[in-house]
Structure 1
Amino acid sequence: MTTEATRSGTNPDTAERFSEQDIERSRSLVGVYHATTQREHFTVASEDVIHNFARGYGDDNPLYTDAGYGATTRWGSLIAPPMIGIAVNKQLMADPIPKDQRRPAFRGIHAFVSGSNTTFYAPVYPGDALYQFQGFENVEVKESEFAGRSVIITRAHVRMNQRGQVVSVSRVIVIHTERHEAKGRNKYADIEPARYTEDDIAAIDAIYEAETRRGPQKRYWEDVNVGETTGTTAKGPLTITDMLVFHAGGYGFTPYAPSASRLGYLNRKRIKAFYVPNEYGVPDVAQRVHWDNDWAKSVGVPMAYDYGMLRDCWLTHHLTNWMGDDGWLVQHSSQMRKFNYVGDTHLITGEVTGKRVEDGQHLVDITLRGASQRGEVTCPAEATVALPSRESGAIELPSVPTDVSQAAVSILSRHGELLKASPTLIR
Structure 2
Amino acid sequence: MSSTELDCSDLDNYLGKLMHAPARMKEPLHNNDFRRWVQAMHYPNLLHYDHDFAAKGRYGRLVAPQSFAIATDNGHGAWPASAGFIPDSHLIFGGDEWWFYGPRIFAGDDICNEQIPYDYTIKETGFAGPTCFQRGDNNYYNQHGDFVAKQRSTAIRYRRDAAIEKGAMEASEAPAWSETEIAELQERKYDYIKMMHELGHGKRYWDDVNIGDALPGRVIGPHSVASLTTEWRAYLFSIWGSTHRPGVDMESMGYTKEFAGHENDPVMERDNPELTDGAYFGPSRGHLFGDWARRIGMPREYGYGASMGAWILDYLAGWAGEWGQVVHSKANYRAPALVGDITLFKATVVDKLKDDEGRHLIQVDLKMNNQLGAVMATAKAEIELPTKVTN
Cα offset, 1:251, TM superposition: 5.4
Aligned counterpart in structure 2 of residue 350 of structure 1, from 347, 363, 385 = 347
AA at the equivalent of 1:289: G
Q: How many positions carry a matched residue from both structures?
A: 358
AA at the equivalent of 1:80: A
Q: Report the Cα distance in structure 2 between the residues aligned to 1:65 and 1:161, rounded to whole angstroms.
A: 21
1:347-402 superposed Cα distances (whole Å, 9 cap, x missing partner): 11111111001121010001111110111121111111100110118xxxxxxxxx
In the alignment, which residue of structure 1 is the partner of 2:297? 300
In the alignment, which residue of structure 2 is the partner of 1:316? 313
Aligned counterpart in structure 2 of residue 77 of structure 1, from 61, 80, 85 = 61
Aligned counterpart in structure 2 of residue 382 of structure 1, from 380, 386, 389 = 380
AA at the equivalent of 2:216: G
In the alignment, which residue of structure 2 is the partner of 1:170? 151
User: Which of structures 1 and 2 has the bigger CA Rg?
Assistant: 1
Task: Summarize the Cα distance change of 1:136–1:258 in structure 2 as closer, same or farther, 3 Å threshold.
Answer: closer
In the alignment, which residue of structure 2 is the partner of 1:55? 39
In the alignment, which residue of structure 2 is the partner of 1:136? 117
In the alignment, which residue of structure 2 is the partner of 1:398? none
1:114 aligns with 2:120: no
Cα offset, 1:194, TM superposition: 1.5
1:36-93 superposed Cα distances (whole Å, 9 cap, x missing partner): 45545x75321111111111111221211123322322223321111212212489xx
Q: Report the Cα distance in structure 1 between the residues aligned to 2:152 and 2:274, rounded to whole angstroms.
A: 29
In the alignment, which residue of structure 2 is the partner of 1:157? 138
In the alignment, which residue of structure 2 is the partner of 1:222? 207
Q: Report the Cα distance in structure 1 between the residues aligned to 2:314 and 2:144, rounded to whole angstroms.
A: 27
Residues 232-251 of structure 1: pairs in structure 2 closer than 5 A: 232-250=217-235
Q: Report the Cα distance in structure 2 between the residues aligned to 1:36 and 1:342, rounded to whole angstroms.
A: 36
Q: Report the Cα distance in structure 2 between the residues aligned to 1:112 and 1:27, rounded to whole angstroms.
A: 20
1:185-206 superposed Cα distances (whole Å, 9 cap, x missing partner): 1122274421212222122122
Runs (4+) off by over 6 Å? 14-17, 267-271
AA at the equivalent of 2:308: R
Any gaps of 5 or more consecutive residues in structure 1? Answer: 1-12, 92-101, 276-282, 394-427
1:161-220 superposed Cα distances (whole Å, 9 cap, x missing partner): 111111000001111101110110112227442121222212212202322213312111
Contact 1:362–1:388 under 8 Å retained in 2: yes
AA at the equivalent of 1:104: G
Q: Report the Cα distance in structure 2 between the residues aligned to 1:49 and 1:299, rounded to whole angstroms.
A: 32
Cα offset, 1:268, TM superposition: 9.2
> What is the root-mean-square deviation of aligned Cα atoms in Å?
3.0
Identity of aligned residues (%): 23
Secondary structure in 2 matching 1:384 = strand
Cα offset, 1:15, TM superposition: 11
Q: Report the Cα distance in structure 2 between the residues aligned to 1:259 and 1:35, rounded to whole angstroms.
A: 14
Contact 2:275–2:281 under 8 Å retained in 1: no
AA at the equivalent of 2:222: P
Contact 1:115–1:172 under 8 Å retained in 2: yes
1:263 aligns with 2:244: no
Any gaps of 5 or more consecutive residues in structure 2? Answer: 76-81, 239-244, 247-261
Task: Summarize the Cα distance change of 1:32–1:231 in structure 2 as closer, same or farther, 3 Å threshold.
Answer: same
Contact 1:15–1:108 under 8 Å retained in 2: no
Task: Summarize the Cα distance change of 1:28–1:48 in structure 2 as closer, same or farther, 3 Å threshold.
Answer: same
Secondary structure in 2 matching 1:33 = coil
In the alignment, which residue of structure 1 is the partner of 2:257? none
1:72-131 superposed Cα distances (whole Å, 9 cap, x missing partner): 22223321111212212489xxxxxxxxxx942435311111101001112111111110
Structure-1-length-normalised TM-score: 0.76
Q: Report the Cα distance in structure 2 between the residues aligned to 1:325 and 1:173, rounded to whole angstroms.
A: 29
1:387-420 superposed Cα distances (whole Å, 9 cap, x missing partner): 0110118xxxxxxxxxxxxxxxxxxxxxxxxxxx
Aligned counterpart in structure 2 of residue 197 of structure 1, from 170, 178, 196 = 178
Cα offset, 1:17, TM superposition: 6.6
Cα offset, 1:270, TM superposition: 9.0
Q: Report the Cα distance in structure 2 between the residues aligned to 1:155 and 1:82, rounded to whole angstroms.
A: 19
Secondary structure in 1 matching 2:105 = coil
Structure-2-length-normalised TM-score: 0.83
Cα offset, 1:224, TM superposition: 0.5
